[in-house]
Structure 1
Amino acid sequence: RVTFQAMIISNGETSYVFYIYAQGAMNFNPYSSRRVQVCVNGINLDTSRNNFYKFDRVIGNTGNIGLWIYKLGYVPNYAAKCHQWFESNIKTLFGIYQWNQIVPACPCSEIAARWSFQWIPSYQQFGCYDSFPQFGQIGRRCCYTRWGSFENRMPLSGNLQMFTPFYYFSGYNHELSDTAPKEWCCYRSNLCHLYYTARPVRSCQPRFTWR
């Protein structure tokens, strides 16, 4: 009689299988003249030892007797990434909303943004403009439709940026804090509302500005 347990363990992205061979539970009675091949998850165990069929008596790859663990695979969980990112922003939401009122609003037309020194064409998103870094690392992205009108629909609209790409050496933080989370929340899952809660949009400014 042979008894063992196999458990699948996962954090939502990486999965493992955990084999538990309780001591005294592997009651094989093999014939000494019969060759036995033992393979676990594509890996051959040491069949050269006399007790290779006694997994409950040998030290597994965990360093413990009878315990073995193998990685099955990895699948990105973008919804989990989005939730984790949003939770990391919850404590700063009040400050984010304050900055959303401080950073200048977007012009209501693309032509106004194009002719204003306050806005720089985005190299990441066509039809969008990033604010000139006048508030340190914090800025705003403005996006427009193909007809040049202000875009405020998720996920096409711009948003407040905690790390504008045009600030000194902030490209990495911009990707980590502003760009990648939008991909996770809006394009890889249906949690776009969480992204725009933490990176809000502000109504456009109708006044044509040349500043």
Structure 2
Amino acid sequence: MYRVDDPSINHINYAQRCRTWFVNEPLPDVYLNELLRRLCPCSILQAIRDRRFRLNLNTFYARSRFSRRVFSGERIYQRCCYSLAGKSFGSLITNYPFGSSFIFRNTTLQARNNEALTDCCMRSSLCSLYLKKRPINKCVGYKAPRKAWFWGDPHNPKYFTIFGQLWMINASDSLFTYSNGLSASNYSDPNFTPIFGQNIQALFANNTELYNQAVAQCGNNSECLFDAAVVSKDTSQIYQDTSNQLENFPPQISGLTTYNVTYGNMFTTTLNITDLNNGDIVTVEMTNPPINSHFDRQTYTFTWNISTYENISLTFVATDNKGARSELAPQIIMCYCSNNGTCDYAAEMGYC
């Protein structure tokens, strides 16, 4: 028996390197327990409006603003990744290699983490091992923050005294450039006091019709009249739209995350689709369908007569009638067995 391959001295067994990382890496609970209050927003719209996260619009990664310290002294962040693909645009990615779990603040530790991701999910088919140590947060239990236009009571004069006058600048503080003979003092009025309750009618700017409508609804309630004067219909609608977007959760797709398939055989699986928002209408589509496959959009059953031995990448996208989306992109391990062989899907590339 002779060896027919001639690997170079620099040959790297990425599957073995992935397994070594898996054995040496602690269970993820030691990290995840510190991120229970850093659950991923379920959609890109929620991530944009959730001030607990910082969204990078170049990468569509959202990272928690503050890190958490774990038992070993390391600091970690929650990181959430969102899709840039057409039909699944803005949905939370819940699979590798494009999804994400927590990340380390220490750049050396994070570099090792990235190397393990590449070894397990891109250079071998052992992504299931990486997923066990780096589970992706799927936004289960996420609660969107409540939105408000004002911090505190805008009708109370003490907020003007505490904040408005505190933020007043003088000539030495100003960052602007002025014409000769002018300074910041020419553009400020230190004696100005906002209208609070003593002259609410002035806020309506001689709009008698609007004022009368407000009085009919508010009576003598000065806070109600103040809001009616300063909050326009358009602003109110924007607030309502924002609240609706924050409270609308995308439909959830659950099912097999790995498809072990054999060339020449039939493969069938059924997805489970749920939606937390009562009354939402959900549609499910399949992108990049393989040859001789069919997806039933009523029963959510995927059937595939495997007749090609090529790299397959398919994604299921669930969208509600408000535009919120989620996706499931299963890993496909293909086996080509002949002569009554048996597939070993746990092997590096699923060969017989």
Measured against the shorter chain, the TM-score band is 0.5 to 0.7
What's the CA shift for 1:92? 3.5
Q: Structure 2: how far apart are the matches of 1:158 and 1:122?
A: 14
In structure 1, runs of 5+ residues without a counterpart are: 1-7, 9-14, 16-71
Structure 1 residues 77, 133: closer, same or farther in 2, change over 3 A? Answer: farther
Query: Residue 29 of structure 1 aligns with which residue?
Result: none
Alpha-carbon offset, residue 199 of structure 1: 0.8
Alpha carbons of 1:210 and 1:80: their partners in 2 closer, same or farther (altered >3 Å)?
A: farther
Tell me if structure 2 keeps the 8 A contact 1:186–1:195. Answer: yes
2:44 to 110, 119, 122: 110
Identity between Structure 1 and Structure 2 (%): 24
Say whether residues 1:150 and 2:86 are aligned partners: no
Where do residues 114-193 of structure 1 align in structure 2 (5 Å cutoff)?
Answer: 114-122=48-56, 126-136=59-69, 137-146=75-84, 147-161=89-103, 163=104, 167=105, 170-176=106-112, 178-193=113-128
In structure 2, do the counterparts of structure 1 residues 87 and 154 end up closer, same or farther at CA, with 3 Å as the change threshold?
A: same
Deviation per residue, 1:66-91 (Å, 9 max, x gap): xxxxxx621121111111111111x4
Tell me the TM-score normalized by structure 1. 0.54
2:21 matched residue in structure 1: 85
1:210 Cα deviation (Å)? 6.7
Q: Give 3-state SS (helix, strand or coil) of 1:76's partner.
A: coil
State the aligned residue count: 134
Q: Are 2:34 and 2:68, in contact at CA under 8 Å, matched by a contact in 1? A: no
User: Is the deviation greater in 185-194 or in 198-207?
Assistant: 198-207
**What TM-score does the superposition give when structure 2 sets the normalisation length?**
0.34
